[in-house]
Structure 1
Amino acid sequence: MDQANKDFIMNVMANANDLTLATIRPDGYPQATTVSFAYDGLTLYVGVGKNSQKAQNIRQNNKVSLTINNAYKNWSEIKGLSIGGIAEVVSDPRDIQQAIDCLLARFPEAVEWAETGQKDQVAFLKIRPQVISMLDYTKGFGHTETIKA
């Protein structure tokens, strides 16, 4: 991945607070849900309910798709990412702490939640992108470039 692509990806992630995460339900249908996220490089972190459908889906099938979009006022400003990746519900204490640290750095108001013991009800997801499509309508309507992560 060249530096221009990496810069574009990091800029889109820095300017978005949420993503839409699609997992595969047991019946084979996709389930898309909007969630807040944090990141460390290209690795994404999400907190979800420990027994949520998303967490259960990922435990059964770790392939996910997600989109991250920046706010825009007209189509010529659309910038976003469509990512195919591998997700895991992290269990290693170091990975859990990394997820918490990244999420609290991005959403400091969540520190109150983290201190109440509610974090025991949360599963932290670690998502590693495998393929990234970059949408940049400033280069023309529908302009996309796809790269391997």
Structure 2
Amino acid sequence: MDDVSRRKIQALLDQHRTMRIATLRPDGWPQVTTVGYANDGFAIYFLCGKESQKASNLTRDNRASLAIDDDTPQVMEITGLSMAARAEVVNDPVEGEKALRLLFQRYPEQKSMPAALPMPGDVRIFRLTPTVISVLDYTKGFGHTDLVTC
């Protein structure tokens, strides 16, 4: 991966805070949901309920696809990321605290709503590691993507 691609991917990861993530249900059909995320470089963290369909799907099959972008008023302004990634449960308490700290930095408004915050024992923290990244940039032409292998 060249430096230009690396900087563009990093900038897009840093400027957003929601993504759509697709996991595989037991029947083989993909399930897509929107989740908040925080990143440390290309490591992407999100949390979900321990008993959620996402947690169950990723425990069975750790492959995920995700999309990060904006809702732009003009089609030719679309920029974003589409990724294939592997998901791993964060079991290390130090990494878990780091992930939660990053998420609270990305969502500072949540600190004023402590009753709405999940308890650590109620959530599962995942780290996504990209394997393939498509950098979408329609400003370079309709449907333009640059494929990057990690």
Aligned twin of 1:24: 24
Which secondary structure state, in structure 1, belongs to the residue aligned with residue 58 of structure 2? helix
| Separation of aligned partners in 1, 2:26 and 2:71 | 33
Q: What count of residue pairs does the alignment treat as equivalent?
A: 149
Partner amino acid, structure 1, of 2:20: T
Deviation at 1:86, TM superposition (A): 0.5
CA RMSD of aligned residues (A): 1.7
- Does residue 142 of the first structure (1) align with residue 139 of the second (2)? no
Q: Deviations over 1:110-135 (max 9, x none)?
A: 33549966222111110000100010
TM-score (norm 2): 0.92
| Separation of aligned partners in 2, 1:62 and 1:113 | 31
Partner amino acid, structure 2, of 1:84: A
| Separation of aligned partners in 2, 1:75 and 1:110 | 32
Which secondary structure state, in structure 2, belongs to the residue aligned with residue 64 of structure 1? strand
Unaligned runs of 5+ in 2: none
TM-score (norm 1): 0.93
Unaligned runs of 5+ in 1: none
With 14-23 and 78-87 compared, the bigger mean Cα shift is at 14-23
**1:86 and 1:127 in contact (8 A); partners too:** yes
- Percent identity, aligned pairs only, is 41
Which secondary structure state, in structure 1, belongs to the residue aligned with residue 109 of structure 2? helix
1:47-126 to structure 2, matched below 5 A, reads 47-111=47-111, 112-113=113-114, 118-126=119-127
